[in-house]
Amino acid sequence: MGRKVLVLGEARDGGLRNVSFEAISAASTVADGGEIVAALVGKDVKALSEELIAYGANKVVVTEHEDLAAYTSDGYAQALLAIIESEQPEAIVFGHTALGKDLAPKLAARLDKGLISDVTDVEVGGDQVVFTRPIYSGKAFEKKIMTDAFTFVTIRPNNISPLAKDEGRTGDVEDLNVEIKNLRTVVKEVVRKATQGVDLSEAKVVIAGGRGVKSTEGFGPLKELADVLNGAVGASRGACDADYCDYSLQIGQTGKVVTPDLYIACGISGAIQHLAGMSNSKIIVAINKDPEANIFKVADYGIVGDLFEVVPLLTEEFKKLKV
């Protein structure tokens, strides 16, 4: 029979965030043979529909508007409410991104529906849809059964693999015009942080530095290693508090949650609040001078040594593998 599931395609800088494809994959499990509808909201975003279809959406509903050029919860909520009204889905999947974390609870509250957030896995058995999500800063996992038809879900990036891209897939693309009115927030200008390269929350490789990095310049060797591995640089709060780097790099309970394939912790002690943001990484490598450092308890590979000796050696070796 199957369910009808709506997914938000998160458009940014003329492209789609990878988590949109992961959301389609999660939706396909929930749909269980039913229909996957992707919502595409913004300005000049319609051209992205084909990619959503190639990743498994059966239909794309596009709402374009001048006032949706930049994200505002007010504007997006109006667009999404109209799409939900017209599509009547049984579940709605967002990425657990800054946007998803803002919008999904707002819509769930507005429609008086449930929200299961930060989901890392979805299974279907019989009539039941079961979502897995970490609790207690990643120390345990809980399973939530979707009891209410019409539930909002946010999925943690980098946990659910997208379906294989197939350019041969076909689907409908429909426009839904929505009158956007009474916006209480107006974006005057978007000022970007001067970060380069790969987005930390979606990176497959993260090289993170802690207080052991000792200075802003100390992040240089980490950046070089990240470049060779096409990864992103992250940090502990210790490094951010010491002003070695920007808080946008902070990983942990009060920072970003990352789940890359490879996490290399350099000069990070492994405080519980840091582990909350990275302990679900697939492979964890820790480099620390102190053999008793807590980070070694969660590491798959531990290197006891000075990061300023070890990191450049790793960079050299990975460079050799690339040629």
Binding characters for ligand FAD, 245-284, by CB under 6 A (x = yes)? -----xxxxxx-----------xxx-x-xx--x-------
Using the rule CB under 6 A, is 133 a contact of ligand FAD? no
Task: Specify which residues 93 forms β-bridges with.
Answer: 7, 153
**Chosen residue from 236, 259, 280, 315 binding ligand FAD by CB under 6 A:** 236
Using the rule CB under 6 A, is 157 a contact of ligand FAD? no
From CA 220, how far away is CA 13, in angstroms rounded? 28
Is residue 69 annotated as involved in ligand binding?
no
Is residue 252 annotated as involved in ligand binding?
yes
Pairing of strands 172-175, 59-64: parallel
Please provide residue 261's backbone torsions phi and psi, each rounded to the nearest 5 degrees.
-70, -35
DSSP state, residue 318: H
Decide whether 162 or 220 has the Cβ nearer to ligand FAD: 220
Q: What share of the chain is helix, strand, coil (3-state, %, to 5)?
A: 35, 25, 40
Contact 207/235 with Cβ under 8 angstroms?
A: no
Decide whether 27 or 239 has the Cβ nearer to ligand FAD: 239
CA dist 301 → 122, 222, 282, 289 (Å)? 29, 18, 12, 14
CA dist 208 → 111, 249, 315 (Å)? 40, 9, 14
Pairing of strands 11-12, 59-64: unpaired
Is residue 268 annotated as involved in ligand binding?
yes
Q: End-to-end alpha-carbon separation of the chain, Å? A: 51
Is residue 236 annotated as involved in ligand binding?
yes
In whole angstroms, how close is the CB of 284 to ligand FAD at the nearest point? Answer: 14
Is residue 237 annotated as involved in ligand binding?
yes
Decide whether 128 or 216 has the Cβ nearer to ligand FAD: 216
Q: For residue 220, what are its two tokens? A: 């240089």
In whole angstroms, how close is the CB of 77 to ligand FAD at the nearest point? Answer: 29
Decide whether 180 or 239 has the Cβ nearer to ligand FAD: 239
Using the rule CB under 6 A, is 238 a contact of ligand FAD? yes
Using the rule CB under 6 A, is 32 a contact of ligand FAD? no
Pairing of strands 91-95, 151-155: parallel
In whole angstroms, how close is the CB of 159 to ligand FAD at the nearest point? Answer: 19
Binding characters for ligand FAD, 192-231, by CB under 6 A (x = yes)? ------------------xxx-------------------
Angle in degrees, 0-180, between the axes of helices 307-322 and 220-228, rounded to the nearest 10: 20
Using the rule CB under 6 A, is 306 a contact of ligand FAD? yes
Q: Which residues bind ligand FAD (CB under 6 A)?
A: 210-212, 236-239, 250-255, 267-269, 271, 273-274, 277, 287-290, 293, 306-308
